Every structure is written in C-alpha cells, then in structure tokens.
C-alpha cells in the first residue's frame, strides 16, 4: 500500500455513535494531518499531530499516532449528520517544505 | 477567520489552450502549494513555493506547468497547453510555518 492509506474505505453509522478511521503509512514522518472534504468541496484542516506526540484532542475529535506501527486513528465522538464527509490523512515526511502525501480517504456517512 | 481563496471556481477550456488558476493565500503565510485531485482519486502534490522560488515539485509538474507570485498577494498556477488528463480539481494551500496547511475551495478544471 502507499503512504497514507485509510481504512475503512467507507463507514456508515447512526447519529450519536462514534466513528473511528485508521491511517497507515510507510515511511518516517514529521507530522500527520487529518482533513475533511465535503462532496466536491475544499479540504478543511482538522488536526495535526507531530511525530513526538501520541494523542491530541480537538472538540469531538481524538487523534492518536503510533510511530512504531506507522499508524494513526481519528475518532469522532457523538457523530452528527453534518459529519458526513470524506476524511483524509496526509503525511509530511519533513524532507521538504511541507509537502503532504494524501491517502485515498474514508467516506463517512452519518444517518440521522 | 482568514481563508485561502481561489478563482475561478470552475474553468472550462479547450485542449491545447493555456489556463491560469489564481489563488490568494492567507496574508501572513510564507509557504504556498498547489495540489490536484482527479475525480475519484487521491489528492496529489504538485508544487511547493517558498521565498519566491519553487522548493519542490512532483513528477506531474512538468514543463507545461509554472507558478508565480506576481504581486505579493496572488499565487498562480499556469498550464501552458492543457491536455484532457489535466481535468481535475486544483487546490491551492498556504502555511505560516510549513506545517499546518490551509486549503482553498478549489478550481474545477475541465478540458474538452
């Protein structure tokens, strides 16, 4: 698989449930970022976690990073219909001026 | 809240024509990027720009592509002779420190 691969590819849940998306990568990184994209729209930055961090929180979002397993997870708690979107992880290897390598993304559908 | 803006939102052009996609990054940012997303595919890095020069470019960014920061506020991507396979959503992004990147809403380029 390539740098920044998310799973599952698609996730369908009910409002109020938690959603967990995973991202795996191949090479060492400087940081990993999660983005949201609503259909046909731009990318919204959610959270950045650096290679020396293990967990970060932002509102209903919780991101973990395990550099030994080269993986990250994004947890959205108490999901809402408005969370329906595609979620991407993107890795910065730190070898250039912030070039990001994106995964294929997870399509999250939250049913009201 | 400051945001990255892009114009036009949709550009339709004939194969072989030149197009210029425009971006206004967030005003105090120093790092600028172009990415593209072909329909149904990953977001791909094209080029990064810092200190008035290209800092890195991908294999996609061949001689048909160029970037410019003509006036200290705009950041443009020019495609000299468009091909059918250039049809994609093009995203501009900017960053203050070369880590967290803020993306614009994108320009959908359709080459006929």
The first and second tokens of residue B12, run together, are 């339709």
Long-range contacts of B10-14 (CB under 8 A, 24+ apart): B10/B107, B10/B108, B10/B110, B11/B107, B11/B108, B11/B109, B11/B110, B12/B110, B12/B112, B13/B82, B13/B109, B13/B110, B13/B111, B13/B112, B14/B82, B14/B111, B14/B112
- B43, A90: Cβ pair inside 8 Å? yes
Angle at B27 (CA atoms; ends A57, B37), nearest 5 degrees: 65
Q: What pLDDT digit, counting tens, does each position of A38-80 carry? A: 987 889 999 999 999 999 999 999 999 999 999 999 999 999 9
Res A4: pLDDT:
65
Res A97: pLDDT:
77
Query: Looking at A94-103, B6-15, B30-39, B64-73, which range is the least confident one?
Result: A94-103
Beta bridge partners of A5: A24
Residue A43, Cβ neighbours under 10 Å: how many? 26
**Terminal alpha carbon distance of chain A:** 34
Average pLDDT of every residue of chain B? 94
Helix (H) or strand (E) holding B79: strand B75-79
Among the listed residues B75, B67, B50, B91, the one whose alpha carbon sits nearest the alpha carbon of residue A97: B50
Surface of B (48-67) touching A: CB under 8 A: 48, 50, 55-56
Res A20: pLDDT:
96
A9 contacts in chain B (CB < 8 Å): none
Which is more confident, B10 or B99? Answer: B10
Which of B5, B37, B42 would best serve as a mutation to test chain A binding (most A beta carbons within 10 A)?
Answer: B42
């Amino acid at each position: 698989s390539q740098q920044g691969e998310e799973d599952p590819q698609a996730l369908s849940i009910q409002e109020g449930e938690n959603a967990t998306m995973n991202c795996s990568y191949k090479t060492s990184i400087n940081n990993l970022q999660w983005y949201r994209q609503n259909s046909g729209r731009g990318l919204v930055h959610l959270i950045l976690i650096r290679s020396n961090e293990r967990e970060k929180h932002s509102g209903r979002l919780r991101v973990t990073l395990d550099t030994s397993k080269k993986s990250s997870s994004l947890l959205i708690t108490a999901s809402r219909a408005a969370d329906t979107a595609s979620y991407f992880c993107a890795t910065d290897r730190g070898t250039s001026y912030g070039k990001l390598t994106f995964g294929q993304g997870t399509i999250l559908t939250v049913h009201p | 809240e400051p945001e990255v803006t892009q114009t036009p939102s949709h550009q339709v052009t004939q194969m072989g024509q030149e197009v210029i996609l425009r971006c206004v990054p967030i005003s105090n940012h120093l790092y600028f990027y172009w990415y593209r997303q072909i329909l149904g595919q990953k977001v791909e890095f094209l080029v990064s720009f810092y200190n008035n020069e290209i800092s890195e470019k991908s294999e996609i960014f061949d001689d048909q592509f160029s970037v410019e920061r003509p006036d200290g506020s705009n950041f443009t991507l020019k495609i000299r002779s468009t091909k059918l396979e250039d049809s994609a959503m093009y995203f501009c992004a900017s960053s203050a420190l070369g880590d967290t990147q803020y993306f614009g809403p994108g320009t959908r380029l359709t080459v006929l």
